[in-house]
Amino acid sequence: MRRFFRGVSLLAGAVAILAGASGSAHGEPLASWNDGTTKSAITEFVQRVTTEGTPDFVPPPARIAVFDNDGTLWAEQPAYFQLLFAIDRITDLAPQHPEWQTNPLFRAVLDGDMQTLAASGEKGLLELIMTTHAGMTRDGFANVVRQWITTARHPTTGRLYTEMVYQPMLELLDYLRVSGFKTYIVSGGGVEFMRVFAEEVYGIPPEQVLGSSIKTEFVMLDSGPVIKRLPEVDFINDKAGKPLNINRHLGRRPIAAFGNSDGDLQMLQWTAAGAGPRFCLFVRHTDGEREWAYDRESHIGQLDKGLDEARKQGWTVVDMQHDWSVVFPE
Amino acid sequence: MRRFFRGVSLLAGAVAILAGASGSAHGEPLASWNDGTTKSAITEFVQRVTTEGTPDFVPPPARIAVFDNDGTLWAEQPAYFQLLFAIDRITDLAPQHPEWQTNPLFRAVLDGDMQTLAASGEKGLLELIMTTHAGMTRDGFANVVRQWITTARHPTTGRLYTEMVYQPMLELLDYLRVSGFKTYIVSGGGVEFMRVFAEEVYGIPPEQVLGSSIKTEFVMLDSGPVIKRLPEVDFINDKAGKPLNINRHLGRRPIAAFGNSDGDLQMLQWTAAGAGPRFCLFVRHTDGEREWAYDRESHIGQLDKGLDEARKQGWTVVDMQHDWSVVFPE
């Protein structure tokens, strides 16, 4: 009898090991997703493309999944986190720049005058970004971001920004990877900004992060070559720029795409238009209590045309409030 | 006694299986490399970075190796193969373009008048490239290249172009991959041109091919979205462009770089300047009999400054004639 129980316990151990090998690093796959049509749409798609010997089977190298970042993997309110980084950075650098005190744009940043800041429009924001993102080497910039991301706090929740990622999306990334997918970030955010934390936070290595970029220059110093960041836009990785950049970097079409705004629409359309099974999903921000509620009318992360297209095409739309048992990691 | 021999034979079988698992797909690793300082420089470097528990150990995700293509992985004489593709393409399309008969540049192509063609300079070549590489979708272009690469023959050897790859370099790619390296192409050639054959010929998937590019446009047709190729240069992946593009795509520095011309110099310098063990290698075309002999004075694949720098820095220089027992696959 004791022998029998030992046998059962050994068997249970083996099952646990096997489950660990093909399951999620967080235990049960998709643990923070409530049961329902959204969760089953995901698992049914993955089942479909990973079942060998069926017409829908997709070999692992073609299992490419692309994710937007702001509003899809982490929050984006009350402003894109990269803009909050730029604002923090200007505050830090202000003592070395007395001329900023008399410049209306920089004055607005230093005074926290968001109205003047918003009124400065795209031109103003671009100037802030260039001031804080260019004029240094790529290594120097990475160090500044690393310092900020490990210490700065979100203005309303007081959390580290890396704690404002969506727990269900972390589980989804894991679930796809253990199912043989290669996961990519394809974001309007700056590529060198995201690469600093993408590997640790999302498990996505730098070469699988695509983003907007500024121009760079190769400079040979006495101490050796450096890559210098120039105050000029190179590529805006948004809207139609997303499929173009995916094509440029990967040379193949994803089979699954995840976004949350109209800026992701073309990426989802490009993904959906390939032959064979495809999966497209929008995260809809419906939870004003645990996160923020916004969509068609929002200035940040507007989801309007995308929502119409999702309905027309039968894409999956996450209702945060109902589909997620947890929003942020505990 | 028979039992003893059976034991030996079983043991030998096990050894062969183990060797197969960590060796080369072509049998003995680097089989076409003659023994000597070049071959041992390669194997010593790989040994160094893959031996766990030593200060020089490099974890697999950081084992990035970058390879130039023209003149490094395949031949580039009497002209870059992609230019020969453009010439063949113009010949094919000429019946649909009667206006080319009176255009001096296109006339020169159709008459095989290489002197006029060369005299047309960069502007002329660019026009030929744009005429043959733009104005269609990315899928349409890939089909044209696929058709050409599987049928066209090299003007002097009569071989398929994919048979003009260097056998020792194929073995080197294999050897690095079984040693946990991720191999990339970083070439001045067109990225969408190379991606058509890189996976089959070199074992390098499309997302690990970096090259020059033309601009593209996302167009929504009634039949769905397409990516259209525009007749405008986007990025020239040569000289300082190589490290910049590596940084843009990978976000990390390679630990090994392989080239054959001054166009690769900055890529090797950028690779060499990182901390820890680094490996830089130039292929020198010294074999006028089995291949072509050219370096400091050549208009194609000039290796002049690079050769000086290699000597100064102690980089490895392949002497094709002495270091390679075979040049092209048999």
CA distance A244 to B217: 7
Q: What is the pLDDT of residue A65?
A: 98
C-alpha–C-alpha distance, residues B250 and A179, integer Å: 24
Whether B247 sits inside 8 A of A209 (CB atoms) is no
CB distance from A95 to chain B under 8 Å?
no
Q: Residue B207: which of A243, A244, A249 has the nearest Cβ?
A: A249
Which residue in chain B is spatially nearest to A219 when comparing CA positions?
Answer: B240
pLDDT computed for residue B22 by the predictor: 39
| Residues facing residue B279 across a β-bridge | B256
Q: Which residue of B has its CA nearest to A254?
A: B207
Instruction: Provide block-wise average pLDDT over 10 residues at a time, chain A (330 residues).
Output: 38 37 60 98 98 97 98 96 96 96 95 89 91 96 98 97 98 98 97 98 98 97 96 96 98 98 98 97 98 96 98 98 97
| Cross-chain residue pair A243–B206, CB shorter than 8 Å | no
Please report the pLDDT score of residue A5 as a whole number: 37
Cα distance between residue A142 and residue A298, in whole Å: 31
CB-based contact, B228 to chain A, within 8 Å: no
CB A218 within 8 Å of CB A224: no
Please report, for residues A259, B72, B102, B227, the alpha-carbon distance to residue A271 in angstroms, rounded to integers and kept in the order given. Answer: 12, 35, 44, 12
Per-run averaged pLDDT (10 residues), chain B, 330 residues: 38 37 60 98 98 97 98 96 96 96 95 89 90 96 98 97 98 98 97 98 98 97 96 96 98 98 98 97 98 96 98 98 97
Q: Which residues of A touch B192 (CB under 8 A)?
A: 251
Helix, strand, coil shares of chain A, percent, nearest 5, are 50, 20, 30
CA distances from B210 to A94, A120, B180, B274 (A): 40, 38, 20, 21
Find the CB nearest A244 among B195, B227, B270.
B227
Instruction: Please indicate if any CB of chain A lies within 8 Å of the CB of B244.
Output: yes
User: To 5 degrees, how large is the angle CA A269–CA A273–CA A275?
Assistant: 155
Considering the entire predicted model, what is its pTM?
0.91
Provide ipTM, 2 decimals: 0.90
Q: Cα B212 to chain center, whole Å? A: 13
A138/B247 Cβ within 8 A: yes
Q: How far is A306 from chain B (nearest CA, A)?
A: 15
Query: Which tens digits make up the pLDDT trace of A282-317?
Result: 999 999 999 999 999 999 999 999 999 999 999 999
B233 alpha carbon, distance to own chain's centre:
21
Average pLDDT, chain A: 92
Provide the chain A residues 42-61 that lie in CB contact (below 8 A) with chain B. 61
Q: How far is A191 from chain B (nearest CA, A)?
A: 8
The Cα of B192 is separated from the nearest Cα of chain A by a number of Å equal to 7
Residue pLDDT, tens place only, A3-30: 433 433 333 333 333 333 334 444 689 9
Give, to the nearest 10 degrees, the angle between helix A121-133 and helix A104-111. Answer: 80
Find tokens 């490419």 and name the residue.
A64
Tell me chain A's radius of gyration from C-alpha atoms: 22
